Amino acid sequence: MKKLFHLLLIATIAVFVLSSCEKDPQAPDVTFDQKVLIINQGNFTEHSASLSLFDENTMTITNRVYETANGISIGATVISGTISPQKEAYLVCNNPDKIDIVEASTGKLKSSITNSLASPRNMIFAGDKLYVTNWDYDYVVNDFGWWEYPNSYIAVYDAVTKAFIKKIPAGTDAEGIAMYGTRLFVAVKEGIRVFDASRVDYPVITTIRAEGVTGNAKHLVFDGSYKLWASFPDKGLVRIDPVNLVVDRVVEIPVDSMDGYITADAKGNKIYTYKTEYDNNYNPSGASIFSLEVSTNSVSEVLSGTIFYGVGVSPATGNIFTAETSFTSNSLLKVAGSDGIIKTTASAGIGTSRYLFF
């Protein structure tokens, strides 16, 4: 089926750079096969990551597609991923650091990027370039005993040749990344850092933080009016006008304190978050997926469970994907309708976390 999926141009899985900061650019039709490549992150110390392929037409799952296609395991922890216009999946991996490029429909490995990566986190396509956030390896221990990475950076590559171009210092704990026109937005501890991508030196334009909002910025996503939303687990969601570079809305909504991942539906009418709670012994005590109705600011609990580690929303069907995630055994995939009613469940892999739609 075909959908006019404007958000593909500018969301965190953006595939083109807009030629200007107009709010209603012309977008091409994007054809979806109603397939979902599921990232099972794996246990960091065990190299147990895998890929599962879910078919929304038949509501069935095929596990370990990478191993079947290549005869070996991924041999890394898969942190995130995105789908290219050619329906190749770019898998951002740690331990070892690499980006595996596979055919999304089969998991067949086509090539890898390994140059100038150091704990890579997230990536986007933007025009003729790839941008990848990296934590780097240098760390300091903060007052709460957590590691922070003050020398994190953005690695820039040629999108066609995959040749490394340069590193851009980003700040502390660089995570989510998005492009609007020639402005590159990166979520860091300091806030939302904005770079001028029209210049070869990528100077910082500004760093945005809403008054009274503490903690790290984590992930970024655009809504249907091309406003940029950033997750701040200490507070909720912050909306930024990407033209004027000002915060125009702050919404209190639960956001997972470890991951902070957010996503949007196909039309950008709703922003989805998730949060898992833990008891004093760090055992999961409950998890929920929440939706924010952008037009009204209303927050709703959509789905509940025990331990979630990600959320995805199908641009083709509106189905909501999550999992009861385990890092010691297979996770339980849950697929629900937009109303939160479970349609099916299935065994997936270890550490199910991200959902790539194509």
- Which of 53, 151, 116, 14 has the alpha carbon at shortest distance from 99? 116
Q: What is the CATH number of the domain that holds 254?
A: 2.130.10.10
Residue pair 129/165 in contact (Cβ under 8 Å)? The answer is yes
Sequential DSSP letters for 319-344:
-EEEEE--SSS--EEEEE-TTS-EEE
Q: Which helix (H) or strand (E) holds 140?
A: strand 140-141
Would you tell me how many other CB atoms lie within 10 Å of the CB of residue 307? Answer: 18
Distance of CA 123 to the CA centre of its chain: 8
Place of tokens 């150091």: 118
Residue pair 188/170 in contact (Cβ under 8 Å)? The answer is yes
pTM exceeding the 0.85 threshold for the entire prediction: yes
27: exposed, middle or buried (Cβ count in 10 Å: 0-12, 13-18, 19+):
middle
248: exposed, middle or buried (Cβ count in 10 Å: 0-12, 13-18, 19+):
exposed
Place of tokens 């991508």: 197
Give CA–CA dist 307/302, Å, rounded.
Answer: 15
Q: How many domains does the chain have?
A: 1
Q: How many CA atoms lie within 13 A of 314 on its CB side?
A: 27
- pLDDT per residue rounded down to tens, the chain (358 residues): 333 333 333 333 333 333 223 333 444 455 789 999 999 999 988 889 999 999 999 999 999 999 999 999 999 999 999 999 999 999 999 999 999 999 999 999 999 999 999 999 999 999 999 999 999 999 999 998 999 999 999 999 999 999 999 999 999 999 999 999 999 999 999 999 999 999 999 999 999 999 999 999 999 999 999 999 999 999 999 999 999 999 999 999 999 999 999 999 999 999 999 999 999 999 999 999 999 999 999 999 999 999 999 999 999 999 999 999 999 999 999 999 999 999 999 999 999 999 999 9
Q: Whole domain around residue 51: which residue ranges?
A: 2-22+30-357
Q: Which amino acid is at 320?
A: I
Give CA–CA dist 31/310, Å, rounded.
Answer: 24
Residue pair 41/50 in contact (Cβ under 8 Å)? The answer is no
